[in-house]
Amino acid sequence: MKLIAKPLDDTGSIGAEAEILKGLKHPGIPILYDYAEDDESICLIEEFVRGLSLEEYFLHYPFLSKTQIITYIIQLCDILSYLHEPPVSILYQDLKPEHIIIRGDQIMLIDYGISEFLTGSGQNHHIAGTVSYMAPEAFTGKSDERRDIYALGLIAKEMFGHCGEKIPASIEAAVFHAIKSDPGERPSSVREWKSSWELNLKKEEDAIRIGKHRLNTVAVLGSQKGVGCTHIAISLTSYLNKAGMHAYYLNVSGEAVCEHILAYGREYREEDGLIYHGAFRGMLRYFADRKGHIPPDGVRILDCGTEESGIYEADLVVYIMGSRLWNTGEIDAKIAKMQSCFLLVNPVSMGQGLWLAKETGKKVYGFPLDNDPFYITKEKRKLFKKLIREWEFVS
């Protein structure tokens, strides 16, 4: 039972919290059994939540596992999805570690003092909250569900800062996706963001079951068009197949690469939506887009072009910058600094490599001058072998 004296400048936040909690029924939200008020005070009768706040939890348990963190994030996504979606339609607005209670295996979200009902996109809300967890648009008073996504992204980043394990690229990319400055570049809903965490949880559980971290997806991303994403993605696919790791190429930037190869290359054959040539396997777009299709076994090599969306499902990102002065492109520092992101200059250039290493503080690799992406030269074999070994080390 909480008996709270009303301040002289009462804005109604206590009463608003009671009104919001009154109709909520979710295992991650405290139950409000009853409340009453008079001119001087308000009385709330709530479920007693015993546990540690996430802020306190970091002090008691400084190292969390990836699986534990992902499970907590999924539970928080469940709570926020329930709040955001009809018939509830509530914007929480004050997500921070001290409001997240860990009670056994269940995450609880408390304190709805500044929560408000959602009525539409970009609506006016009070400029309130904890500054360090507020999305940029929240300071203008106009925000929607993506404000809570931003705060949740910051909390996820903070939790992974307490992780005693190496973080794969797909996890770093999912966090990076939520904390974009522009709300239009964030996930459109918590439910959408949650799906990427469910995929990551499955990967972690599979890795634990087989006793090692398996490479499932590699994203090849370019700083701009024309830096050689397709060439390098095809080369990497051919190398992995030749090395005994089944792999297949898939273009996710919208280019019909495999269709074009099949139309003009007599030596290429097609079977069940895949084209074959030597050690290369590539998936045709029509097959990949077909409803209910079952992807083949092996590592997916995603040719992303300049579209960063492919990195959100990758274990390893190969980020390419051109070395020719007229075609270098600009590297996104946040992506470059991801633990499982490897920087590649194409073609190899000592000067460009040293400059990029200095700018990012990371090791930079050079792709050798190469005319045939399907043929594995000694130089390419050495480079790809080194990348895979480095990835295995950080994973």
pLDDT digits (tens, 9 = 90+) for 325-343: 888 889 999 999 998 999 9
Same fold? 2-46, 217-394: no
Q: Do β-strands 100-103 and 316-322 pair in parallel, antiparallel, or remain unpaired?
A: unpaired
Q: Are 351 and 249 in contact (CB under 8 A)?
A: no
**Which two three-digit tokens encode residue 123?**
């609506």
pLDDT of residue 306: 95
| C-beta neighbour count of 65 within 10 angstroms | 13
Q: Are 3 and 14 in contact (CB under 8 A)?
A: no
**Which two three-digit tokens encode residue 156?**
């996820």
Q: Please, which pLDDT band fits residue 211 given cuts at 50, 70 and 90?
A: very low
Q: Omega before 347 cis (within 30°)?
A: yes
Query: 217-394 has which fold?
Result: Rossmann fold (3.40.50)
- For the domain made up of 52-210, the CATH class stated in words is mainly alpha
Pick from 60-74, 110-124, 191-205, 302-316: least confident: 110-124
Classify residue 28 by its DSSP letter: T
Average pLDDT, the chain: 87
Spatial distance between the Cα atoms of 121 and 161, rounded to a whole number of angstroms = 32
Domain regions of the chain by residue span: 2-46, 52-210, 217-394
| pLDDT tens for each residue of 356-367 | 999 999 999 999
Residue scoring higher pLDDT (31 or 113): 31
| C-beta neighbour count of 15 within 10 angstroms | 15
304 Rama class: left (phi>0) / alpha (psi -120 to 50) / beta: alpha
Q: For the residues 226-235, what does the mean pLDDT come to?
A: 96
Q: Are 320 and 229 in contact (CB under 8 A)?
A: yes
- For the domain made up of 2-46, the CATH class stated in words is alpha beta
pLDDT of residue 212: 53
Q: Answer yes or no: pTM beyond 0.75.
A: no
pLDDT of residue 127: 78
Spatial distance between the Cα atoms of 156 and 246, rounded to a whole number of angstroms = 33
Residue 135, φ and ψ in degrees, nearest 5: -70, 155
